């Protein structure tokens, strides 16, 4: 059997010209405090307000055909953003985003209506009590009249 010669290769350090540094590394010792550009800290999704979206769509639509790409490049957007924002605008979704979030303020008229309804309920209860008292007094008066008439017609006992 034939024997294969053993291959030995040594890899030496990469030699660079004098004064040329590795562009991929950033020294923190230099005092710049910049992070390594190869590794982002944490990717963050961009968010856009409804007002910004409407403004950009209006600006894009108003731009002549040759300038539309310039608007996208200036803002760092894609044409798909414009398409989605246009659809949302036409569906009325962006108009709903303009309103502030959180609890809606109570209308003064609604507060007044609630107060008047509570007052009405209280007055109806008081009226029901007053009617009950009047009915009871009328029945008592009729009973007393009946008793007093019956007492006058009875013969007096003579002793």
Distance CA 63, CA 82 (A): 13
Distance CA 146, CA 84 (A): 89
pLDDT tens series, the chain, 159 aa? 567 767 666 666 655 555 555 555 545 455 556 656 666 677 778 888 888 998 999 999 999 988 999 999 999 999 999 999 999 888 887 666 666 667 877 788 989 999 999 999 999 999 999 999 999 999 999 999 998 887 766 566 666
Token pair for 64: 């002549």
Contact 25, 36 (CB under 8 A): yes
pTM more than 0.75: no
């Amino acid at each position: 059997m034939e024997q294969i010669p053993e291959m030995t290769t040594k890899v030496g350090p990469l030699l660079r010209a004098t004064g040329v540094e590795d562009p991929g590394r950033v020294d923190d010792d230099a005092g710049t405090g910049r992070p390594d550009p190869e590794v982002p800290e944490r990717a963050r999704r961009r968010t856009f307000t409804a007002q910004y979206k409407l403004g950009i769509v209006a600006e894009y639509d108003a731009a002549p055909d040759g300038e539309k790409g310039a608007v996208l490049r200036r803002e760092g957007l894609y044409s798909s953003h414009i398409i989605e924002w246009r659809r949302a605008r036409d569906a009325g979704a962006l108009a709903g985003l303009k309103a502030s979030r959180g609890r809606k303020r109570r209308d003064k008229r609604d507060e007044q209506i609630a107060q008047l309804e509570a007052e009405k309920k209280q007055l109806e209860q008081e009226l029901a009590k007053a009617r009950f008292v009047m009915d009871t007094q009328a029945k008592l008066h009729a009973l007393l009249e009946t008793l007093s008439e019956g007492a006058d017609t009875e013969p007096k006992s003579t002793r």
